[in-house]
Structure 1
C-alpha cells in the first residue's frame, strides 16, 4: 500500500472488508465472503458470490 495514502490503506484493509461483510450480512440476510484479490489497489473484496479463480477465500460471514 502506498505510504502517502493512509486513508486508502485503512479503507483497503482486511479489517474494513470484514466490517463491511458483517454489515452486508445483517442488511441482506445472505452469507458474504471476504476475498483476497491480486489487485494492489483493492487487495480485499466483499461479495455474496464465492471466490473466482484468481481470488482466495479468507472469511465467510454466514
Structure 2
C-alpha cells in the first residue's frame, strides 16, 4: 500500500474526528461517537450510532 498524502494523513487523525464529532453534536443536538475502524484509509469515523462489532468505541460526545 502506498503512503498517505499529507492532507489525508491530517484528516485521518483522531483529533480531526473528535473535532467533527463536537461540531456535529452542536449542530444536531444528538450524541456522536468516535470509533476506531481498523481500516487504514479511514482509521476513525464519527457516527450517531454505537460502533459495529468489529469497531472500538473511543469517545462519546454527549
Q: TM-score, normalised by structure 1?
A: 0.93
Contact 1:25 1:31 in 2 (8 A): yes
Structure 1 residue runs of 4+, over 4 Å off?
none
**Whose strand proportion is higher, 1 or 2?**
2
Give ranges in structure 1 of 5+ residues lacking alignment.
none
TM-score when scaled to structure 2? Answer: 0.93
RMSD: 1.3
